[in-house]
């Protein structure tokens, strides 16, 4: 806003510099007595100011921007005609004897049409400057409002996705704990305690737009350890995360859906299965890779809503457009997902 005000002030100063210097430039080389300057230059400048600011503060908003073009044109023509007439009256009544106008022997002065044309052009200049500045200012304001609206819409969409992810996460976690209650009550208690820590992170720490990558890694590690409690000895889970603090910040909860999917669709109670999770950081680029056995759910299995991958794609589109890539594929009966993000 402060920057826009400075531009507006500068534009006004530039306009008046041009309007004030224009008569002097056009009359260069002619005699410049004070009376001639007052009559021919300074009096029109006052009229220019009236035309400029009447349009700037009143007429453009009331008529031009509301598409009342005829009213706008008529009012300005009437105003310019009054000022041309008034200028001639002032010159004839107060400066006639002082200006020493040359008398033409044949009694003919400059053609009236030429005189009127020149006068109209001179009074059109402040009008056009006023339209240009006012239109530019309105465009800047409209563009600023459009960007603000887009920003609000973006925050709203991201908030919606964030709230959408939380119930999804808790639903899956509680399903897993529920399955342990009868089989291993002690593990179920441990899982509930671990889940409470994860909930605290999701409810309080992830409200920020960006979180430290190290916090996100700590969250994922705790979640993986929680999920490992419910899988059988036939499932091997390996993960590798950067151990040093990188200082990188990232949007929260981008990777957790992939880990959830791996435990939901890549684990078998009767067959050998494995989950491999790997994250690397190269300068400001984070690469997350996860690989698991491809064990599709049965069509009548409604334990998941399929919201995870769509949530990732939508958040990447909103947060990391042209700065991320996300691919998934099934290779040799193994599901592989690779998420790469440029964080700078």
Phi and psi torsions of 268, nearest 5°: -120, 140
Report pLDDT for 34.
47
Nearest Cα neighbor of 52 from 78, 84, 85, 16 is: 16
pLDDT, tens digit, for every residue of 314-342?
888 888 989 999 999 998 889 999 999 99
Asked if the model's pLDDT at residue 239 lies above 50, the reply is yes
Give the residue with greater pLDDT, 16 vs 343: 343
Q: Which helix (H) or strand (E) holds 232?
A: none
The whole-angstrom separation of Cα 278 and Cα 291 is 9
Token pair recorded at residue 199: 């909930």
Report pLDDT for 60.
92
Class at the top of the CATH hierarchy for domain 153-342? alpha beta
- When mean pLDDT is compared across 14-18, 237-241, 280-284, 315-319, the lowest value belongs to 14-18
Report pLDDT for 87.
81
pLDDT, tens digit, for every residue of 105-119?
444 555 656 656 677
Token pair recorded at residue 165: 């992810």
Contacts of 252 (CB under 8 A, 6+ apart): 205, 206, 208, 210, 211, 216
pLDDT, tens digit, for every residue of 21-66?
655 555 555 555 545 555 566 777 888 889 988 999 999 999 999 8
Is residue 225 within 8 A of residue 190, CB to CB? The reply is: no
Summary mean pLDDT of the chain: 79
Report pLDDT for 286.
96
**Across residues 80-88, what is the average pLDDT?**
87
Predicted structure pTM score: 0.56
CB atoms within 10 A of CB 182: 8
CB atoms within 10 A of CB 209: 11
Q: For the chain, which residues make up each domain, given as ranges? A: 2-109, 153-342
Asked if the model's pLDDT at residue 306 lies above 60, the reply is no
The whole-angstrom separation of Cα 168 and Cα 305 is 8
Report pLDDT for 165.
58
Q: Which helix (H) or strand (E) holds 266?
A: none
The whole-angstrom separation of Cα 218 and Cα 224 is 10
Asked if the model's pLDDT at residue 187 lies above 70, the reply is yes
CB atoms within 10 A of CB 85: 11
Confidence of residue 277 (pLDDT cuts 50, 70, 90): very high
Report pLDDT for 225.
85
Cα end-to-end span (Å), the chain: 27
Is residue 336 within 8 A of residue 289, CB to CB? The reply is: yes
Helix 43-54 crosses helix 112-181 at what angle (to 10 degrees)?
A: 30
Largest CA distance in the chain: 122
Asked if the model's pLDDT at residue 192 lies above 90, the reply is no
Token pair recorded at residue 247: 């200082």
Token pair recorded at residue 289: 């890779």
User: E strands, 92-245, where?
Assistant: 211-212, 235-240
The whole-angstrom separation of Cα 183 and Cα 252 is 33
The whole-angstrom separation of Cα 56 and Cα 83 is 18
């Amino acid at each position: 806003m402060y920057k826009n005000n400075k531009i507006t002030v500068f534009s006004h100063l530039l306009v008046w510099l041009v309007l004030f210097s224009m008569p002097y430039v056009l009359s260069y080389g002619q005699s410049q007595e004070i009376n001639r300057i007052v009559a021919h230059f300074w009096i029109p400048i006052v009229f220019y100011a009236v035309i400029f600011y009447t349009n700037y503060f009143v007429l453009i908003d009331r008529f031009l921007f509301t598409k009342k073009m005829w009213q706008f044109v008529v009012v300005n023509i009437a105003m310019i005609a009054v000022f041309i007439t008034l200028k001639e009256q002032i010159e004839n009544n107060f400066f006639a004897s002082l200006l020493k106008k040359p008398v033409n022997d044949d009694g003919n002065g400059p053609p009236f049409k030429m005189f009127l044309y020149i006068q109209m052009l001179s009074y059109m200049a402040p009008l056009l400057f006023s339209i240009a500045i006012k239109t530019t200012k309105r465009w800047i304001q409209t563009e600023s409002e459009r960007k603000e609206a887009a920003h609000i819409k973006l925050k709203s969409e991201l908030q919606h996705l964030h709230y959408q992810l939380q119930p999804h996460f808790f639903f899956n976690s509680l399903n897993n704990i529920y399955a342990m209650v009868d089989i291993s009550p002690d593990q179920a208690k441990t899982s509930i305690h671990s889940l409470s820590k994860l909930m605290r992170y999701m409810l309080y720490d992830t409200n920020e737009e960006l979180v430290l990558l190290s916090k996100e890694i700590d969250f994922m590690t705790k979640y993986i350890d929680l999920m490992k409690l419910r899988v059988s000895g036939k499932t091997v889970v390996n993960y590798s995360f950067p151990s040093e603090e990188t200082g990188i910040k990232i949007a929260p909860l981008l990777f957790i859906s992939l880990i959830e999917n791996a435990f939901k669709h890549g684990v078998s109670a009767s067959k050998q299965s494995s989950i491999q999770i790997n994250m690397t950081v190269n300068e400001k680029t984070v690469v997350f890779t996860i690989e698991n056995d491809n064990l599709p759910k049965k069509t009548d299995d409604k334990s998941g809503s399929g919201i995870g991958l769509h949530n990732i794609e939508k958040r990447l589109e909103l947060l990391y457009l042209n700065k991320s890539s996300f691919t998934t594929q099934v290779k040799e009966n193994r599901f592989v997902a690779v998420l790469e993000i440029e964080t700078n």
